Structure 1
């Protein structure tokens, strides 16, 4: 799907990371294994939620920064992108709506989407701003705590994921073009999955049974399974064509785009993509300090490196779980950014 919007923009992005910082060099694996995986993923440190904290207080801290300059009652819609919601039901969006005391005629809903989720969330927010005359200001929350659903003894995931939460203030604008391309290939959904926990395969005692796979990774059906080779192949095969679609839609080229803000999947993959497309000097990376924070990795990257990411022609691209992918080219030159640590 290719979409062009002309009346929506991002005014502010605030990202909050947990206050618990861990080093991958301290994980309980042998030194040879640690050095090999850290070199491949590029992840040296990460921020993860402690056992007594959910994403909710991080969302609230992030939005309080936005409310320093706008009236909460001016919010017309609230969207939450997450694959680690506060509850199975109700939606995290409705929980936040109630806590923040927003007006009753404001929309509130969740989007269950992972690595491409920020792009999908922006598209939904921009569509509402473009087409609904009564909607002028939207809060797009984005958060994931993949550390909570990963097996700490699984080498393929234990070193990779960090947690974070963000809020993006989207507003109606008279003249602000943005170009979206959204794609899916659900045939690869089994390559990044938590097998048990939904109604297709409910949790049971066997879900928590740990076993070793052919690579010596400890896995269970209640935690995240990732086929790294297949995810890599999908990414390097599909992302270049995704960007070509953006170039065609926007009448731009890779040379005319200021910056490419990619989902921070892993360092080897990001370097491979940048080299393949000849954009190594325009592809900022911060996965070494924060890990792969799923859908929130893009707003985290922008908040962490605004001087590199916020330009008139910034291209954002997410890809991964579900074999979902999305990209957007938009103007971030006037976007305010903030990066904070969670304060209890």
Structure 2
């Protein structure tokens, strides 16, 4: 395959997270519950965004790092894809903010996609379509979230695992191995991981949507807060994701043992290890880089990879696997051996 082919490739990845850590032991929750949960999730500290910082702000910071380390000129970018469930404004989306902040030319495609946990893989897929169609040459993909702002402080299920941050990657042409994907989406599972109020179906109504209630596990929420049924999410992930991984391995012609790295959505340590057991993988090939950061949403995969950069992984045969809100699953098998992973930025 010639080097000037239109096969898309990811040339660089960057991540940005809040500079301050929050110790979960400082939460107003009994010590037994705190320690039991931390042992299960593997998360002892998280990073949460201050009020003035949005997902777009962290994505912009990550993109600046990416451009600097790759010596990329903003004028060469002709496509922007931003993925977040919590944009800076109701509309328009954050892609315009990113364009303006980075000095990217007006003559570019700028789009926003409302995706959370599976955001990065959807972003790579969309950017690859733009590049391989010939419409774009260099597409900046940004994925971030500040979900901690949308969680009730008394919700123990989510408060102890969710972190904030943003990521950026650059997709261009010149790849040698086509990237292979698997997607699954079950809209019937929307109610297991979503925010009930705040949209057109259930507008904010003081005295109605902001009234707190307590579930059987002692989690306190309002209809305006994010909700998660952890058992149903786990059931979806364990039942569906291994099949998706098998599908992309078959498409690439790889054996499970050949893969050098499996990068799962960093929901928590228990979830990752459960998938490793279900798929009978070598634990050393599935990184867990969630402690000290928390689950930052769709960008968690990229953050994990950037944190792993110092361990000198080859990344030639890599499987990225994300899952969550939707209920949604997305898996990508690709060669990341020539991809530059930036040092994580803290701001």
TM-score of the two chains, using structure 1 as the length reference: 0.95
Matches for 1:101-250 after TM superposition, within 5 Å: 101-131=103-133, 133-205=134-206, 206-250=208-252
Structure 1 residues not aligned, in runs of 5+: none
Deviations along 1:15-61, one digit per CA (max 9) or x if unpaired, are 01111211112211110010111112211111110123223332222
Matched, 1:322 2:323: no
Q: Distance in 2 between matches of 1:47 and 1:82?
A: 18
Structure 2 equivalent of residue 340 of structure 1: 344
**Deviation by residue 1:69-92 (Cα, 9 ceiling, x = unmatched):** 011110010010111111111110
Instruction: Kindly indicate whether residue 285 of structure 2 is the aligned counterpart of residue 282 of structure 1.
Output: yes
Deviation at 1:336, TM superposition (A): 1.0
Shift, 1:268, TM fit: 1.3
Task: In structure 2, list runs of 5 or more residues that go unmatched.
Answer: none
1:218-262 CA-to-partner distances (Å, cap 9, x unmatched) read: 110011110001101111111110111112111111111111000
Once the two structures are TM-superposed, the CA of residue 341 in structure 1 deviates from its matched residue by 3.6
Q: Which residue of 2 aligns with 1:28?
A: 28
Offset from partner CA, 1:90-149 (integer Å, 9 cap, x none): 110012112323222200011111111111111001111111x24110100110111011
Judging changes above 3 Å, is the alpha-carbon distance between structure 1 residues 58 and 310 closer, same or farther for their aligned structure 2 residues? farther
Following TM superposition, by how much is the alpha carbon of 1:340 offset from its aligned partner in structure 2, in angstroms? Answer: 3.1
Q: Give the 3-state SS of the residue equivalent to 2:232 in structure 1.
A: helix
**Structure 2 counterpart of 1:17:** 17
Give the TM-score normalised by the residue count of structure 2.
0.94
Distance 1:57 1:310 in 2: 31
Task: Say if 1:285 and 1:6 are closer, same or farther in 2 by CA, change over 3 A.
Answer: farther
Contact 1:81 1:142 in 2 (8 A): yes
How far residue 308 of structure 1 moved from its aligned partner, in angstroms, is 6.1
Decide which moves more: 10-19 or 62-71: 62-71
Once superposed, what is the RMSD of the aligned Cα atoms? 1.5
2:64 is aligned to 64
Contact 1:82 1:142 in 2 (8 A): yes
What's the offset of the Cα at 1:300?
Answer: 0.5
1:258 to 254, 257, 260: 260
Structure 2 partner of 1:78: 80
- CA distance in 2: counterparts of 1:101 and 1:52, whole angstroms: 22
Match of 2:307 among 284, 287, 304: 304
Equivalent-residue separation in structure 2 for 1:309 and 1:155 (angstroms): 35
